[in-house]
Chains A and B, each alone.
Chain A
Amino acid sequence: SSNSQGNAFLVPGATVATLLMLGVLHARRLYDDKKVEEAREKGIEFEFRPDVKATFLRMLPLRSISRVWGFLTNLEVPVWLRPHVYRAWARAYHSNLEEAALPLEEYASLRDFFVRTLREGCRPIDPDPYSLVSPVDGTILRFGELEDAGAMIEQVKGFSYSVTSLLGSHSLLSMIAEKNTQHKSSNIEQESTQREKSKKSWWWISLASPKVRETVSECPMKGLYYCVIYLKPGDYHRIHSPVDWNVLVRRHFSGRLFPLNERATRTIRSLYVENERVVLEGLWQQGFMAIAAIGATNIGSIELFIEPELRTNRPRKKLLPTEPPEDRVYEPEGVGVMLKKGDGLAAFNMG
């Protein structure tokens, strides 16, 4: 009987101990985040510093965890429970429920709620024809001008990644950079050998079209700019078009699914060039334009409204950490898909 009494206390004891431990870890996490927030307000920036947790994350089956999360959040919530679940989510992640386009009962699952649209007029598009607008809601992490296509973007102080590793080595950008050098040296035979060498590659074909070539040649000497925007879990997660532009190609990197929060950017190297991401490249009136949508463990899915059949966060067939990216050229070649400033373009989703 003492044995069975011992067992009777085992389960509740273990449960209480686990909850206590999780509580302590969460408190510690809140304390760390508060410290980072205070430091940021003082203008102090933490340097890049890998830690044990980052190494540990590399061993975890993050893609499976992400897919299980997607399965759970896709489960249908009973209608009577929906307002309570979505209000709890909104409270935890500071979402603004007033802006949701539909009554809360209409969202069948947390995943449906997460990718909600907003009521008409909630996001007015800046009317200035010379403005470039934000494609998402979020926090500005970094922005600036780059020397050239080979330039580096700082992930955090002390660690940078190259634009070509983010967009891919076959990026239209590298071709424009080449044309810039050709334009400078205006060496004609170099251009014809270039055509021979890369007759097959898509961007040479797409550049054959007059519209694209005139856009590229009209702006021989432009600056190259970038902007990095972080979306918190409670933010509106649809992506809109920043300008009027033609989307010529989509490039999908299956990659990894590390978390993308503030701590991860300080401790995991090459985060943005290792994680699963979808890159859209094309041309606007000033030249090259690209948007890279980068997934994370909890938000591993990227849905394109211009290519609904694209699936991301697929179960990994091979254990290759980095498969080559998969390109798709949008028809008609050289013109692609035309989007107006503010048009809905894509959406992140959970799992």
Chain B
Amino acid sequence: STVVLVFQAPTSKSPKNTDASKFRFSIRRGDRIRVGQALGR
């Protein structure tokens, strides 16, 4: 089975957001992940 997440989050593309507030993933492809571990911040 497979789960797909689709979500809005701050991006650096919009003029108002400084780069600091851009959402960043903290994973790599192929990583094993567990429930509760951060995918990004």
A residues apposed to B, CB below 8 Å: 40, 123-126, 128, 130-146, 153, 163, 166-167, 173, 176, 219-231, 236-240, 242-243, 260, 272, 284, 286-296, 299, 342, 348
Contacts and interface: CB of A to CB of B under 8 A. Distances in A.
Interface string B6-41: 111111011111000011010111111111111111
Contacts of B4: 153, 166, 226-229, 272, 291-292, 294
A237 B1 CA distance: 9
B33 A137 contact: yes
Interface of B: 1-11, 13-17, 22-23, 25, 27-41
Contacts of A225: 5-9, 23, 25, 40
Contact of B5 (A40, A227, A272, A299): A227
B38 A141 contact: no
Contacts of B41: 128, 130-132
- The 6 A-B residue pairs with the shortest CB-CB distance, nearest first, are A223-B11, A287-B8, A221-B14, A131-B38, A222-B8, A125-B36
B7 A284 contact: yes
A272 B2 contact: yes
Contacts of B37: 126, 133-134
B25 A143 contact: yes
B8 A288 contact: yes
Contacts of B2: 141, 228-231, 260, 272, 294, 296
Contacts of B6: 146, 163, 166-167, 173, 224-226, 288-290, 292
Contacts of B17: 221
Contacts of B32: 138-140
Given A132-B40, A134-B34, A286-B23, 8 more contacts: A123-B36, A132-B38, A134-B38, A146-B6, A221-B17, A222-B14, A286-B9, A286-B10
Nearest to B35: A123
23 contacts: A123-B34, A124-B36, A132-B23, A136-B35, A137-B34, A139-B31, A140-B33, A143-B25, A146-B6, A221-B11, A221-B15, A221-B16, A222-B10, A222-B11, A223-B22, A225-B40, A230-B1, A231-B2, A288-B6, A294-B2, A294-B4, A295-B1, A296-B2
Nearest to A283: B8
A165 to B, nearest CB: 12
Contacts of B39: 131-134, 143, 227, 242
A296 B36 contact: no
Contacts of A138: 3, 32-33
Which of B29, B35, B40 is packed against the most chain A CB atoms within 10 Å? B35
Contacts of A287: 7-9
A40 B35 contact: no
A291 B13 CA distance: 24
A40 B34 CA distance: 21
A295 B34 CA distance: 19
A173 B1 CA distance: 24
Given A132-B39, A140-B27, A140-B33, A260 B11 contact: no
A237 B34 CA distance: 11
A136 B23 CA distance: 20
A67 to B, nearest CB: 16
A90 B41 CA distance: 33
Contacts of A142: 29
Nearest to A295: B1
Contacts of A342: 35-36
Nearest to B8: A287
A40 B41 CA distance: 27
